[in-house]
Amino acid sequence: MNKFNRSNSSALRLALPACLAALAVGVPAAVAADGGTGVPPGPTVSSASCALQPAWTCARGQLLTIEGENLIRSRRVIFFGSDGSADNISVKLSAKASTATTVRVTVPQSARSGLIRVEGSTGETATTRQDLKVVASLPATDDAKDSSKLVAGGKRQAEFRYDVSGRSAPGARVEAVRGTDGKVVRSWSLVSSGRGEVNWNGFVGKNPARSGTYLLRLNEAAKEEAQVVSGSDTQFQMLEGFFPIRGAHSLSSTSTQKFGGGRGHQGTDHFARCGTPLAAWTSGVVQYNAFQGAAGNYIVVRRANGESYAYMHMRERSPAKVGSKVFAGQRLGHVSDTGHAQGCHLHIELWTAPGWYKGGKPYDSLPLMKRLDKLS
Ligand SMILES: [Zn+2]
């Protein structure tokens, strides 16, 4: 994708006329067309559900599946909430969001419990007879939790415990040592007395440590005043990041999938089955989470070092809120082909500081993807 215009976001609030708001307080729904010749029949809705939830219940940020008839090319879904028209949320649908019998839409973070309405291709509407119960966001899924290795910026951290009993020795520190070359990459001062604890997130300054075997230990001076709590002094693998595609995949190989590719391709394309989970490769703060005609559902995460990365063509809007922190391994979405995409794939962009369309420049993400793929 080139010349990316991010002005087109979704989830716009729609001020509904009073006649529509009246329906939200209980007028039965589903006004179907009479089926006269040449007029496509209007939509009907029969159920609404989200994964891992009872029927008619969804968490904010979850993908809601609405079932019914004549739903193809539905234009929008309105979440009525409970407070008249003031809390109505209207979500415009992309062409791929509907089939004849289903509409899929991400429950907006601002949505509240209430009836929902689908606006069909001709402008006719169908409203549910029952409220959709909207609950708080689900806790973030950690795709790295079953990995035997730790990931810099991940939810799990390296832990080291020690007890201070002697007098303070000058230069006493806890050190993170890299196994391959014995280099001390980071160190921490000791507590003055009692039980001390170091939790290392794998970062050295604003960047993840290079992937490798590490050990947390007391340095020589610290051994005069402190003892390691047994079990703390084990080596561990710390990775610079987590491979984002959590299933079978191919790495970009053809010129059109690669960076540049003679067409100003700002990312690299990696193919996987539609619906394969996508995890944050490193930690950061969500900068954008939106839909755009070319990018489809996309997310941009700003890293501690000022760089940023973007995932595009995702199946639904990411559950990660703009402004929220994400950890390495956190589920950000699923591989799909929303926007301009031929086949389900992850389009990933890496940008130098100060980041994505903030003055940074895109650079080739393939070397990183190859490194991460080997290790995680
Ligand atoms: Zn691409």
Q: Separation of 87 CA from ligand 1 center, angstroms? A: 37
Q: Is residue 108 predicted with pLDDT exceeding 80?
A: yes
Residue 230, helix vs strand vs coil: coil
HEC per residue, 184-211 = EEEEEECCCCEEEEEEECCEECCEECCC
What's the whole-number average pLDDT of the chain? 88
Q: What is the pTM of this model?
A: 0.74
Topology classification of domain 150-239: Immunoglobulin-like (2.60.40)
CA atoms of 218 and 222, how far apart (whole Å): 6
CB atoms within 10 A of CB 128: 22
Q: Which of 194-203, 261-270, 278-287, 356-365 has the lowest mean pLDDT?
A: 261-270
Rounded to 10 degrees, what is the CA torsion of 49, 109, 98, 58? 0
State the distance from the centre of ligand 1 to the C-alpha of 303, rounded, in angstroms: 21
What dotted CATH number matches 18-135? 2.60.40.10
- Please determine, for residue 99, whether its predicted confidence score (pLDDT) is greater than 60: yes
What pLDDT score does 38 carry? 64
Q: How far is the CA of 269 from the centre of ligand 1 (A)?
A: 5
Q: Which amino acid is present at 82?
A: S
Ligand 1 centroid – CA 241 distance (Å) = 21
CATH superfamily of the 249-375 domain: Glucose Permease (Domain IIA) (2.70.70.10)
The number of beta carbons lying within 10 Å of the beta carbon of residue 376 is 23
Q: Report residue 280's pLDDT band, with 50, 70 and 90 as the boundaries.
A: very high
SS3 357: coil
Half-sphere exposure of residue 126: CA atoms within 13 angstroms, side-chain side: 26
Q: Is the pLDDT of residue 15 over 90?
A: no
CA of 1 to the centre of ligand 1 (A): 6
pLDDT at 12 over 80: no
pLDDT category at 52 given cuts 50, 70, 90 is confident
Q: With 50 as the cut, is the pLDDT of residue 4 above it?
A: no
- Do residues 268 and 252 make contact, with C-beta atoms less than 8 angstroms apart? yes
Closest by CA to 239, choosing from 216, 200, 203, 212, is 212
Domain ranges in the chain? 18-135, 150-239, 249-375
Cα of 139 vs centre of ligand 1, distance in Å, is: 30
Radius of gyration of the chain (CA): 25
Quote the ligand 1 centre to 253 CA distance (angstroms). Answer: 12
Per-residue tokens: 343? 């086949």
The pLDDT tens digits for 225-272 are 999 999 898 899 999 999 999 999 999 989 889 999 767 899 999 999
Phi, psi (rounded to 5 degrees) for 147 = -75, 140
- Domain 18-135 and domain 150-239, same fold? Reply is yes
